[in-house]
Amino acid sequence: MLLLRCYPRITDWLFEVSGIDLRFLPIYSYGFFVALGFIVAAAIAAWELRRREQLGLINFTTKTVTTGEAPTVSSLLINALVGFILLFKIVAIFLDKEAFGANPQSFIFSMGGNWLAGILGAMIFGGYSYYAAKKEQLPTPKIEIVKVYPSQQIGDLVVIAAVLGVLGANFFNYLENPEDYSSFAQDPIGSLFSGLSIFGGLIFAGIGFGIYAYVKKIHILHLFDSVAPGYILANGIGRIGCHVSGDGDWGIVNVAPKPDFIPQFLWSNDYAHNIINAGVPIPGCEGNFCNHLLLPVYPTPVYEFLQCAVICIILLSLRKKLTIYPGVLFSIFLIFNGIQRFTIEKIRDISDRELFHVLGFNLKQAEIISIGMVIAGVLSAAILLRIYRAHKQ
Check whether residue 183 and residue 121 sit in a common domain: no
Answer yes or no: is pLDDT of 31 > 90: no
Q: Which domain holds residue 241?
A: 10-60+149-392
Mean pLDDT of 298-310: 96
Same domain, 45 and 139: no
All residues at 6 or more sequence positions from 37 whose CB lies less than 8 Å from its CB, including other chains: 233, 234, 235, 236, 237, 238, 241
Residue count of the chain, please give it: 393
Please tell me the total count of domains within the chain: 2
DSSP H/E element including 297? none
Whether 1 maps to a domain, the answer reads no
Q: What pLDDT digit, counting tens, does each position of 312-366 carry?
A: 999 999 999 999 999 999 999 999 999 999 999 889 876 656 666 777 777 777 8
172 and 71 belong to one structural domain:
no
Same domain for 40 and 120? no
Residue 85, CA distances (Å) to 26, 163, 198 in order: 20, 21, 32
Q: Of 146, 170, 186, which residue is a domain's last?
A: 146
Query: Are 20 and 127 in a shared domain?
Result: no
pLDDT digits (tens, 9 = 90+) for 268-298: 999 999 999 999 999 999 888 999 999 999 9
Q: Do the beta carbons of residue 292 and residue 279 sit within 8 Å?
A: yes
What's the predicted TM-score (pTM) here? 0.82
Q: Is the pLDDT of residue 104 over 80?
A: no
Same domain, 117 and 258: no
* Separation CA 268–CA 256 (nearest Å): 9
Residues 174 and 354: their CA atoms lie apart, in Å, by: 11
Distances (CA, A) of 150 to 37, 213, 266: 20, 9, 40
**Chosen domain end from 121, 146, 171:** 146
Q: Domain check: are 97 and 209 in the same one?
A: no
Same domain, 264 and 386: yes
Q: How far apart are CA 368 and CA 354, in angstroms?
A: 12
- Report the chain's C-alpha Rg in angstroms: 24
Assess whether 289 and 189 both reside in one domain.
yes
> For residue 152, what is the DSSP state?
G
The answer to whether residue 96 sits within a structural domain is: yes
Q: Rounded to an integer, what distance in angstroms lies between the CA atom of residue 249 and that of residue 247?
A: 6
